[in-house]
Amino acid sequence: MNEFTDRVALITGAARGQGRAHAVAFARRGADLVLCDRCTDSSAIAYPLATAADLEETARMVEAAGRRCLAVRVDTADRLGMEALATRAEEKFGRIDIVVANAGVSAAAPIQDCPDALWEEVIASNLTGVFHTIAAVAPGMIARNYGRIVTVSSMMGRSSAPGLAAYAASKWGVIGMTKSAALDLASYDITVNAVAPGNVSTPMVHNDALYSMMRPDLDAPSRSDVEPVFASLHAQRVPFLEPEEVSGAILFFASAANAHITGTVLPIDAGAAARVSA
Ligand code: NAD
C-alpha cells in the first residue's frame, strides 16, 4: 500500500474531479503532493471550474491521509507560473518524482461557429498546459535521472464527435506530445505515458451545458435523460466511470517498477477504443 512513500507527485487540475481522486490515491500510498489548479472560471467555458475552496478541500484530504501538501493556484497556460511552481515544490520537497498533467476544460461548438475564444481556451488549457507542465518539471527530473510523467488525453484523443474540433485537436495533440516527450526523456529513466478516459463522473460532464448538448430535444434534461447517450459512447453500456478507475491506471504508470513502459496510451473507457482502428 505504501509504494510511493517519500515520492513527490505534482498533479494539475487537482482541486476536484479526477485530479482530486489521483491526489488522494497517491497520498494514501505514501506520496507528498504538489497540487495545482487555476481556481477561476473562464468566459469561454459554459460550466463553472473549480474554486479555491475546492483546492483547499483536496489539500485537507491529502493531509488527512498523513502526507505533506503544497497547494497553489496556477493556470497551466502560464509558463512562468508553472516554472515558479516547480521551483517552489523542489525547494519545499527536494524533488518532483511524478507528474500528472490532468488539468483541462471541455467546450463544444460546430467548427463553422467555433469562436476563437473557445479554441484558444481549450488549446491553452488542454494542450499548451500539458506542454508547460512537462517543460517545467523535466529539467529537475533530468538532473535527478528519474521521473514518471502521465498525461491525460481522452477517448476523444483517438476519435471524435460533432462539435469537438478544439477538444479533439487538443487531446490528439496530447498523445503526439506524449510520444515525442517519451523519446526526448528516454535516456534519463523518465517515462511519459498517456491515459485516455471515457466518460468520467466529474463536474466536467455533470453540468447543464453538456446535458443540453447531449439532449437538444429536451428543455432541461436530467442525469437520467442523458445517461443513455453517454452510455452509447462506450462499448460496455455504463454511462460513466468513476475517477478512481482512472487513478488506478495512473498509479500503474507512476510506479518505479514500470521503468520500461513509455510512449504508450492506455484507454480507460469501457471499451470505446475497441471501436477505433488506430
Ligand atoms: P473537472 O472539470 O472536474 O476538473 C478539471 C480541473 O482542472 C478543474 O479543477 C479545473 O479548475 C482545472 N483546470 C482547468 N483548466 C486549468 C488550467 N488551465 N490550469 C489549471 N487548472 C485548470 O474535470 P475532470 O473530468 O476531472 O477532468 C480532468 C481531465 O480529464 C481533463 O484533462 C479532461 O479533459 C480529461 N477527461 C475528462 C473526461 C470526463 O468525462 N470527465 C473524459 C476524458 C478526459
Q: What is the pLDDT of residues 160-204, one digit of tens each?
A: 999 999 999 999 999 999 999 999 999 999 999 999 999 999 999
Ligand 1 and 77: CB distance under 6 A: yes
The atom of ligand 1 lying closest to the CA of 103 is 7
Distance 211 CA to ligand 1 centre (A): 17
- Whether the pLDDT of residue 278 is over 70: the answer is no
pTM, rounded to two decimals:
0.98
Work out which ligand 1 atom sits closest to the CA atom of 246.
30
| Cell numbers 445517461: residue | 227
Give, using CA atoms, the residue closest to atom 14 of ligand 1: 104
Shortest-distance atom of ligand 1 to CA 54? 9
Q: Which atom of ligand 1 is nearest to the CA of 49?
A: 11
Ligand 1 proximity of 166 Cβ (cutoff 6 Å): no
CA 201 to ligand 1: nearest atom: 41
Q: Whose CA is nearest to atom 32 of ligand 1?
A: 104
The residues that are catalytic are 167
Q: In sequence order, what are the residues at sequence separation of 6 or more whose Cβ sits closer than 8 angstroms to the Cβ of residue 149?
A: 98, 99, 101, 134, 137, 141, 181, 185, 190, 191, 192, 193
Contact 38, 103 (CB under 8 A): yes
Calculate what percentage of the chain has a pLDDT beyond 70.
99
The answer, yes or no, to whether residue 60 has pLDDT greater than 90, is yes
Residue 109 half-sphere exposure, CB side, CA atoms within 13 Å? Answer: 17
38 lines ligand 1 (CB under 6 A): yes
| Mean pLDDT (whole number) for 38-61 | 98
Q: How confident is the model at residue 276 (pLDDT cuts 50, 70, 90)?
A: confident
Percent of the chain with pLDDT over 90: 97
Pocket of ligand 1 contains residue 37 by CB under 6 Å: yes
- Find, among 159, 136, 137, the residue nearest to 148 by Cα: 137
Q: Residue 235 corresponds to which amino acid?
A: A
Establish whether residue 125 lines the binding site of ligand 1, counting it when its CB lies within 6 angstroms of any ligand atom.
yes
Nearest-CA residue for ligand 1 atom 6 is 13
| Alpha carbon nearest to ligand 1 atom 19, residue | 75
Cβ(205) – ligand 1 distance below 6 Å? yes
> Could you tell which of 49, 121, 172, 234 is best to mutate to test the pocket of ligand 1, judged by most ligand atoms within 8 Å of the CB?
49
Confidence of residue 222 (pLDDT cuts 50, 70, 90): very high
Q: Other C-beta atoms within 10 Å of 180: how many? A: 12
Ligand 1 center–CA 85 separation, angstroms: 19
Residue 187 DSSP one-character state: G
